[in-house]
Each structure stands twice: as C-alpha cells, then as structure tokens.
Chain A
Amino acid sequence: MSTNLADPQRLATPPTFQAVSLSRRIKNGIATGLVWGAFLIAIIPLVWVLYTVIQRGFPVILDGDWWQKSMSGLLARQQGGGAYHAIYGTLVQGLVCAVISVPIGIMIAIYLVEYGGRSKLSKATTFMVDILTGVPSIVAALFVYTVWITTFGLGRSAFAVSLALVLLMVPVIVRTTEEMLKIVPDELREASYALGIPKWKTIVKIVIPTALSGILTGIMLALARVMGETAPVLVLAAYAPFINYNLFDGPMASLPLMMVNERNNPTAAGFDRIWGAAITLVVLITLFNLLATVISRALAPKTK
C-alpha cells in the first residue's frame, strides 16, 4: 500500500517499527569488533602454547620407553630413558595430597553450609579459607619446610610435598563443595526432616548425593591444578633420576621437577625431555579433567 502524503493523519503517526539507526549500528559494530578482538587475544597464546608443546613433545612421548623407563644410569647427553619415575612421583604426590585434602575440605564445607550459619566460627573459617586461597605455592612450600624440616627435623621427601599441596588444595575443595551444597534446595532438606530423618543422615544420604557430581568435579579440577605446582617440589623434594617408591624418605622426581632439572642440561637430549615432560603433564591433567566430566555426568541426578 502506498503512503498517501496528503493524508495528515498518516504523517502525524510514525510507523511502529523503524530501521535500526546508524549510531546503533556503529556501536554494535565496535562492540562486536572488541569482543572478537578480546577472544583472539585470549586464544592466540593458548593455541601457540599447545602447538609448541605438541610439536616438540609429541615425538618424545611416542617412544614406549618414555612411559616405562626412568633416567637411571643415563648420562646427561645420552638419548633414551623415560619419565616413568617422574610420572609416578607426580601421581603419588597428587593422590596422597587428595587423600588428606578431600575429607578435610568436604567436612569444612559441610560445617560452613549446614551447621555454621552466621556464627563467628563460621565467619572466621570462611575468612581463613579466603586467605589460604590466595597463598602462593612458594609460601605454602616454605611453611612446610619450616615446620616439617626445620622444626621437626624430618628430611625432604615426597610426603612433605604432599603436605604443601594440601595447603593449596583444601581451600579449592572447600570453595567448590560449599557452592555445590548451597545449590541443593532447602526443600529437599525439609522433605527429609519431615520424614523423621535426623539432620546428619539428611546430609549424608540426601544432600551429599545430590551435590556429589559437582563435588567430584571440583576435586578433580583441584587435583589437576596441584599436580602442576612446581614450587613445592623444588623446595621440598630433591630430584632423583631413578624410581623411588618411598614417600617418606629420599629424593623423588615429578614432572615439573624433571623439567627444571633438564633445563640445566644443554644437550639435545635434555631439550627433548623438557618438552616430553611438559606434554606428559598436559596429557595427565587433561585426562583428569575428562575423568571429572565423565564422573559428573554419570552421577548427576537424572530425570529419565
């Protein structure tokens, strides 16, 4: 229908919908450009790091020996050997740390969410956890050094490393578990109380199972994080080129420590081992993250 310009009524009422104005289109263009730019700036280093690590490390870990042998008896410039001793160290130190941190972290979170309320102890605990979250790993390592080695006179060992990692892991677990417990609706707790189920049993049998998938994801991510920590292994454990199964005594390798150690090795063999250890660490952490996803999917409350 053509507009009748002679009709004053039509001119007086503008159409309801108008085209997007030029200024809005310009602003939209600028904002889109900025967001894309930020995305690219964030993604470039990530891709670059991954590319470098894979390009230099991948050939090293293709060798079966890498996963089965240690560096025992090899000279620095000799090719060959493997990272078995370091993988073992990283996994064992991480797992021992998790075994100590998980119960502590989960129980603190349960106290904060289910019992603490707005009490002074609860506020103080939250404050402490906040501080602990911000403690750099080197500080945690030096603290354990002071207590474990200087004060108690015990030797440097893998267990001391695990203790330092506990300080880093507990706040992360408390935080994630707390968040997960908070999103369990109060209606479920009330439904359980109304059936005559005591509070502790409600927490153990209703609240925790409902939040379990999120809690486990948090634990796995925290574990992945502490496995890459370098400061505690540098301060608290000496490097050993061979396998040491003893947690409490003697030097024990780990992947970050192996990388630091091989950096002093100027030969091509050392260069290969650094990148091999790097990609091995990335692969281990990726595996833990994948495992976290799988477990959380399997345990998440279902509707079908």
Chain B
Amino acid sequence: MAKRLDIKDLNLFYGKFHAVENVSLAVPPKNVTAFIGPSGCGKSTVLRSLNRMHEVAPGARVEGKVLLDGEDIYTSTVDPVEVRRTIGMVFQRPNPFPTMSIRDNVVAGLRLSGMKDKKKLDEVAERSLRGANLWNEVKDRLDKPGGGLSGGQQQRLCIARAIAVQPDVLLMDEPCSALDPISTLAIEDLITELKKEYTIVIVTHNMQQAARVSDQTAFFNLLGVGQPGQLIEVDDTEKIFSNPSQKATEDYISGRFG
C-alpha cells in the first residue's frame, strides 16, 4: 500500500513551451501534500506528471525523475498503464462514465482490467463506496446511472472509482473546485480518512483547504508570463501558513498577490 514519491529535477514541457522548471520534492507515505500557487504556475502540470498523465497531451514532454519507492516511473521499460494503475487520480470536474450504473462506475477499473468474478466486484464496490462515504446515499440505487447523482456525490463516486483499484498514491486535481461548501466538507473529511491508507497529493486554489487537510504544503509560483513555473518552497503546512521562509509565499498566502 501507501508508497512514497520523490520528484527529482523535474522539467515539464508542452511542445516548445517550458511549463515547469527544476522541481524537486519528497512526498512521504500516508501523508497529504498540498500544491498551492496562482493560476498557470504549473501545479496541475506537476501533479499530472506524477502518474504520467502529462504525456497524454500532444507534444508534452518530461525531463527528470519521479521515483515511487525508489523506482523511476519514467524509465523506458515502465508501462504508463501500470503507473496509472498504481497512482490513481481524481479530477477537477466529476466525470463518472455516463453509460454506466453507479456500481459499474466504481468497479470500471477492475472490470476493464479483466476481473469477472461478480461477487468479488460487488464486494469491491461496497468497500470503495463506504471508503468514499457514499454507500449510505446510493446503496438502494446501485443500478441507476452515475450521471443522476449530485455534483458532490459524483465527485465522491469518482473517488470511490479511483480507490477501487487500490492505488498506492492518490492524486487530486482541485477536487472541490466545482462543489458547494457542504460537499467540499464531505470530501475534506474523506481526505483525512483516506490518508490513513493512501499517500495523497492535492492541488487546490483554496488556501484554507490546504491548511485544513494537508500535512505538507508546496508553493509554486510564476516569475512572469511565458516563464516556466517554479517550486518556491515546500514545508510543513503549519510552517508555511505561519512563518514561511520565502517572501513570495508570505505575499501569496496573505493575499497580497495572486
């Protein structure tokens, strides 16, 4: 289960555009790491490079290393499909598969990887939905389409879908930005629960959220338009929000810019 991630000298490109420069960062296991920073600073790009989703975009390129418990996920012998099975992801907007029922959505990852045992799948569906705090709300309508749930429920469905394949690390790309405060609270509680078993990296625009859920915070910034984004500093969340060592971090979290 939960593994550690070490990012070493990571440089990310979209075609000729240098999007992120020289990021080095350690993500300890069973721990929540938050990425904060102004729009366009590359925090989502870094997150997507952690399970090789960055290269899905045409022309995208990666330099540097990302080590999962010491093993480089960018070695040429590594299959990106395997990486993504090990490092799951939840997206900004809830995206359940529209043609599938709630149950099928949850077990999609396993079923499409070839698991057929219906009893086992039902067990996984229940365990994952309980894990995502959604079971009680949907247990009577598991065969109904996932698209019929509310936005917050859909996002928890997507989290259930991501944890159903039992990844070692869970990446979350602004998982609450499309949700109302009550659903946001539900997801934040869930993140606190999930970190007992998973290593979590979350990108958020909401600094209160970063302060509430994370143990460690990384602040990214952009020196200017067209320049690559950079990691300014990474430290314990408490330290970042009370006594950051960089002026730029302090300016950003105190709302003086960004």
Residues of A within 8 A of B (CB): 117-118, 185, 187-198, 201, 205-206, 209-210, 212, 301-304
Q: Are A196 and B148 in contact (CB under 8 A)?
A: no
Q: Are B112 and A303 in contact (CB under 8 A)?
A: no
Complex Cα distance A174/B207, Å? 48
Q: Are A196 and B97 in contact (CB under 8 A)?
A: no
Given contacts A303-B145, A304-B144, A304-B148, contact A194 B53 (CB under 8 A): yes
From A185, A197, A209, contact of B95 by CB (8 A)? A185
Given contacts A195-B162, A196-B84, 10 further A-B contacts (CB under 8 A): A118-B58, A188-B95, A190-B56, A191-B97, A192-B108, A195-B85, A195-B161, A205-B112, A301-B145, A302-B148
Sample 7 A-B pairs with CB under 8 A, ordered by A number: A194-B53, A195-B162, A196-B81, A196-B82, A197-B108, A197-B112, A304-B148
How many whole Å from B155's CB to the nearest CB in chain A?
A: 12
Q: Are B109 and A197 in contact (CB under 8 A)?
A: yes
Q: Are A187 and B84 in contact (CB under 8 A)?
A: no
Interface 9-residue window, one of B86-94, B181-189, B233-241: B86-94
Q: Are B88 and A195 in contact (CB under 8 A)?
A: yes
From B56, B58, B113, contact of A193 by CB (8 A)? B56
Q: Are B88 and A201 in contact (CB under 8 A)?
A: no
How many residues of chain B are within 8 Å of chain A by beta carbon?
A: 29
Q: Are A194 and B84 in contact (CB under 8 A)?
A: yes
Complex Cα distance A206/B109, Å? 11
Q: Are B53 and A210 in contact (CB under 8 A)?
A: no
From A194, A206, A303, contact of B97 by CB (8 A)? A206
Chain B, interface SS category:
mixed
Q: Cβ of B158 < 8 Å from any Cβ of A?
A: yes
Q: Are B97 and A117 in contact (CB under 8 A)?
A: no
Taking CB as reference atom, which chain A residue is nearest B84?
A196
Interface centre among B99, B145, B158, by most chain A C-beta atoms within 10 angstroms, is: B99
Q: Which residues from chain B contact A118 at a C-beta distance below 8 Å?
A: 58
How many whole Å from A41's CB to the nearest CB in chain B?
A: 41
Q: Are B93 and A195 in contact (CB under 8 A)?
A: no
Q: Which residues from chain B contact A197 at a C-beta distance below 8 Å?
A: 81, 108-109, 112-113
Q: Are B89 and A194 in contact (CB under 8 A)?
A: yes
Complex Cα distance A192/B91, Å? 11
Chain A, interface SS category:
helix
Q: Are B97 and A201 in contact (CB under 8 A)?
A: no
Taking CB as reference atom, which chain B residue is nearest A184?
B98
Given contacts A301-B145, A302-B145, A303-B148, contact A193 B84 (CB under 8 A): yes
Complex Cα distance A148/B88, Å? 55
How many whole Å from B51's CB to the nearest CB in chain A?
A: 7
Q: Cβ of B165 < 8 Å from any Cβ of A?
A: yes
Complex Cα distance A205/B114, Å? 12
From B82, B89, B112, contact of A201 by CB (8 A)? B112
Complex Cα distance A209/B81, Å? 21
Taking CB as reference atom, which chain A residue is nearest B93?
A187
Q: Are A187 and B95 in contact (CB under 8 A)?
A: yes
B56-68 Cβ-contact flags toward A at 8 Å (1 or 0) = 1010000000000
From A194, A198, A206, A304, contact of B145 by CB (8 A)? A304
Q: Are B91 and A191 in contact (CB under 8 A)?
A: yes
Given contacts A301-B147, A303-B145, A304-B144, contact A196 B113 (CB under 8 A): yes
Given contacts A194-B89, A304-B144, contact A210 B113 (CB under 8 A): no
Q: Are B162 and A194 in contact (CB under 8 A)?
A: yes
| Contacting residues of chain B (143-165) with chain A, CB-CB under 8 angstroms | 144-145, 147-148, 158, 161-162, 165
Q: Are B99 and A209 in contact (CB under 8 A)?
A: yes
Q: Are B97 and A188 in contact (CB under 8 A)?
A: yes
Complex Cα distance A192/B97, Å? 9
How many whole Å from B121's CB to the nearest CB in chain A?
A: 14
Q: Which residues from chain B contact A303 at a C-beta distance below 8 Å?
A: 145, 147-148
Q: Are A210 and B98 in contact (CB under 8 A)?
A: yes
Complex Cα distance A197/B109, Å? 7
Q: Are A195 and B91 in contact (CB under 8 A)?
A: no
How many whole Å from A217's CB to the nearest CB in chain B?
A: 16
Q: Which residues from chain A contact B84 at a C-beta distance below 8 Å?
A: 193-196
Q: Are A190 and B147 in contact (CB under 8 A)?
A: no
Q: Which residues from chain A contact B58 at a C-beta distance below 8 Å?
A: 117-118
